[in-house]
Amino acid sequence: MADIKTRDAVKGTIKTIDKAAVASERMKAAYAKTKEKAEEGYYANEGSATEYAADKISYASDRVKDEGIHQFNKQGQKGVKTTKETVVKAKDKMADFKQKRAAKAAEQRSARNVSGQNGLQIHRGTAGRSSVISDASVQTIKTSTDTQKTIKQSARSAGKTVKTAAKGSVKTTERSVKTAQVTSKAAIKTTQQATKTAQAAAKASAKTAQKAAQAARASAKASAAAAKTTVKATIAAVKAIIAGTKALIAAIVAGGWIAVVIILIVVLLGCAISLFGGGSESTSYTPVSAEVEAYEPLIQKYAKQHRIPEYVELIKAVMMQESGGRGNDPMQASECGYNTQYPNTPNGITDPEYSINVGIQNLAACLNAAQVENPVDMDRIKLALQGYNFGNGYITWAQNNYGGYTYANAVEFSTIQAERLGWDSYGDTQYVSHVLRYYPFGRAFTSGGNQAIVEVALTQLGNEGGQPYWSWYGFNSRVEWCACFVSWCAEQCGYIEGGFIPKFAGCISGANWFKEQNQWQDRNYEPTAGDIIFFDWEGDGLTDHVGIVEKCENGVVYTVEGNSGDAVKQRQYTIGSSSIYGYGVPAY
């Protein structure tokens, strides 16, 4: 029985070891398969640093498992070897015991035979000897029993050794695997964090590079714009000199020495302003076309004939605005009273020279009616020019009602005439500024365009309800119309088309536009006429009303505002008032 138990224990131990070996072989096979995939390029398309790290760590984990199982196998084999040696020794002892027991049994049988043959005497002797033999047998049996116990203990010890070795190896392996898994997870997490950090750094670097590129482009664009502006200014200055020189020659030919001195001063001032600044692009000098220049001999001829030889450049500017020197009626003079040969209808004149003759005669009459004294008497020249467009009746009306020309009264007169005639519009309310951009002396002696929007706004004082402002903007019914009013006034001056003021119906969008253009000032700014003032009644940092600055004097800002009590009214505020949100400062 002891032999059977010992064999079973050994078999169990060997089975356990075989299972561990099979598991080891399977893990090795899986690792070999994974390795083959890696070598074949299975992970070739894995571009992630995290995936690469995970594969590396998985490989390390497999190696740890293999090492643990190898150690387990090694310990198991050692235990088996020890058990086998113990079993062999036990078998040897058992064989020796059997031999001795067989010998003693033979001796006992022999003694019994002798006793039967010799009688009692011998029996007694045998009995004595038998007692001795019995003691030896008992001792032998005890020895056998001890041997069997030793064998059982050896078997148990071997089994325990194998189990302990197996358990220890398995636990050690499990700990190694767990440690490898934890290390793997930590390494993967670290790799992921490193990847994220690298990605963030790359994004930040790319963003910085992009901003640098944008700044470089903006700088280059600004430099190019500055260079372009400088070139334009230089060209304009040269052309102004040429135009002024021509005017000077014409004046000398005409014999007007006073005019010569005046023109000489104008040329010098005009050149200085053109070269060194003094106005926006909208008021810069624009040369007339080649077609207009080609008519200069005829212009000089009829300018002298109608006694305005020093105004050749002004005549050319009028022709440029009217037709650009093209067509059969370059001065667009067919509707004036001096046309007696052709129909008084648009483009009724079909002879360019006749058009020039009639047009100059009409302009001379306007200059005389406006009492213009010289080529730089700009206030009266403006009155004369608007009269050329509206008709001489405007000059008398403006002098009687306002003492001269203003953009606002030009708008008013146009409105009156359109209503009287039943037309949608009458004339060109911006005719003066349109002509003066072609006049070499216009820039030097013309005030900034910021005043025009104020003049228009002042003509609307007393308007109630917001018509035509909100309907002009495109609304079908009344809305809060303060921004619509500002936009309407800007449109009348051509400022929306020129990009100086946006068309806006919401105060916030209007303020944001000026901020985006870097044309914004806070409430402590001292504004000038034509600036756009925004208000914050609630003090919540949001603008909710807008108006036009009329003027600023002695720390007081005077305004014209639409929708002030549902009417156009004049208001005033101290500079820095908490009600003021800020100012849009158009680049007139």
Tens-digit pLDDT profile for residues 426-440:
999 889 988 988 998
Q: Residue 376: which residues within 8 A CB-CB, separation 6 or more? A: 262, 265, 266, 441, 444, 445
CA 565 to CA 575: how far, in whole Å? 22
- Taking residues 383-410, what's their average pLDDT? 94
CA 13 to CA 25: how far, in whole Å? 18
How high is the pLDDT of residue 82?
A: 62
How high is the pLDDT of residue 376?
A: 85
How high is the pLDDT of residue 259?
A: 52
Placement of tokens 């690469």 in the chain: 52
Tokens of 34: 């994974």
The residue ranking higher by pLDDT, 101 or 141, is: 101
DSSP one-letter string for 128-197: HHHHHHHHHHHHHHHHHHHHHHHHHHHHHHHHHHHHHHHHHHHHHHHHHHHHHHHHHHHHHHHHHHHHHH
Q: Quote the radius of gyration of the chain (alpha carbons, Å).
A: 58
How high is the pLDDT of residue 441?
A: 76
Q: For residue range 250-266, what is the model confidence (pLDDT) as tens digits?
A: 555 555 555 555 555 55
- Taking residues 159-183, what's their average pLDDT? 52
Q: Is the pLDDT of residue 157 over 60?
A: no
CB 155 within 8 A of CB 9: yes
How high is the pLDDT of residue 4?
A: 47
- Taking residues 15-41, what's their average pLDDT? 53
- Measured CA distances, 103 to 89, 106, 136 (Å): 21, 5, 12
Q: For residue range 322-381, what is the model confidence (pLDDT) as tens digits?
A: 999 999 999 999 999 999 999 999 899 999 999 999 999 999 999 999 999 999 888 999
> Cα(first)–Cα(last) distance of the chain, in Å?
119
How high is the pLDDT of residue 46?
A: 43
How high is the pLDDT of residue 87?
A: 56
The residue ranking higher by pLDDT, 411 or 110, is: 411
- Taking residues 100-110, what's their average pLDDT? 70
- Taking residues 225-229, what's their average pLDDT? 49
Model confidence band, residue 486 (pLDDT cutoffs 50, 70, 90): very high
User: Is residue 373 classed as helix, strand or coil in its secondary structure?
Assistant: coil
- Taking residues 512-526, what's their average pLDDT? 97
Q: Is the pLDDT of residue 406 over 70?
A: yes
The residue ranking higher by pLDDT, 43 or 470, is: 470
Q: Is the pLDDT of residue 19 over 60?
A: no
Nearest to 24 by CA among 69, 80, 76: 69
How much is the mean pLDDT over the chain? 73
- Taking residues 292-310, what's their average pLDDT? 96
- Taking residues 92-114, what's their average pLDDT? 67
DSSP class of residue 331 equals T
User: Is residue 570 classed as helix, strand or coil in its secondary structure?
Assistant: strand
Looking at residue 40, its amino acid is: E
What percentage of the chain reaches a pLDDT higher than 90?
Answer: 41
Q: Is the pLDDT of residue 213 over 60?
A: no
Model confidence band, residue 483 (pLDDT cutoffs 50, 70, 90): very high
How high is the pLDDT of residue 491?
A: 87
- Taking residues 83-109, what's their average pLDDT? 67
Domain boundaries, the chain: 2-216, 279-446, 469-584
How high is the pLDDT of residue 286?
A: 83
Q: Which of 179-188, 243-252, 382-391 has the highest mean pLDDT?
A: 382-391
How high is the pLDDT of residue 274?
A: 44
CA 474 to CA 487: how far, in whole Å? 12
CA 345 to CA 208: how far, in whole Å? 65
CB 318 within 8 A of CB 359: yes
CB 570 within 8 A of CB 461: yes
How high is the pLDDT of residue 268?
A: 54
- Taking residues 65-75, what's their average pLDDT? 52
Handedness of CA 66, 72, 75, 77 (dihedral sign): negative
Residue 46's φ and ψ, nearest 5 degrees, are -80, 100
Q: Which residues pair with 583 in a beta bridge?
A: 521, 533
pTM: 0.46
Fold of 279-446: Lysozyme (1.10.530)
The residue ranking higher by pLDDT, 409 or 105, is: 409
- The rounded Cα 372 to chain-centroid distance in angstroms is 57
The residue ranking higher by pLDDT, 451 or 565, is: 565
Q: For domain 469-584, give the CATH number.
A: 3.90.1720
